[in-house]
Amino acid sequence: MNGLSFHPAYLDRPAQEALLASLAPLIARAPFFRPTMPKTGKPFSVEMTNLGPLGWVSDREGGYRYQATHPVTGQAWPAIPQALLDLWQAVAHYPVAPQACLVNLYRDGAKMGLHVDADERDRAAPVVSISLGDSAIFRLGGATRGGPTSSLKLNSGDVVVLGGASRHFYHGIDRVLSGSSTLVPGGGRINLTMRVVG
Ligand code: MD3
Ligand code: FE
Q: What is the pLDDT of residues 164-175, one digit of tens each?
A: 999 999 999 999
Which SS3 state, helix, strand or coil, does residue 97 take? coil
16 lines ligand 1 (CB under 6 A): no
pTM of the model: 0.98
Q: Whose CA is nearest to atom 3 of ligand 1?
A: 193
Under a CB-based contact definition with an 8 Å cutoff, are residues 198 and 189 in contact?
A: no
Q: What is the pLDDT of residue 96?
A: 97
173 lines ligand 1 (CB under 6 A): yes
Q: What is the pLDDT of residue 2?
A: 87
Residue 118, phi-psi category: left (phi > 0), alpha (psi -120 to 50), beta (remainder)? alpha
What average pLDDT does this structure show over 70-84? 98
CA distance 163 to 72: 32
Is the pLDDT at 1 greater than 90? The verdict is: no
**Site to substitute for ligand 1 among 193, 194, 196, most atoms within 8 A of C-beta:** 193
> What is the pLDDT of the chain when averaged over all its residues?
97
CA distance 149 to 139: 7
Cα of 189 vs centre of ligand 2, distance in Å, is 15
CA distance 137 to 196: 25
CA distance 24 to 183: 13
Q: What is the pLDDT of residues 9-46, one digit of tens each?
A: 999 999 999 999 999 999 999 999 999 999 999 999 99
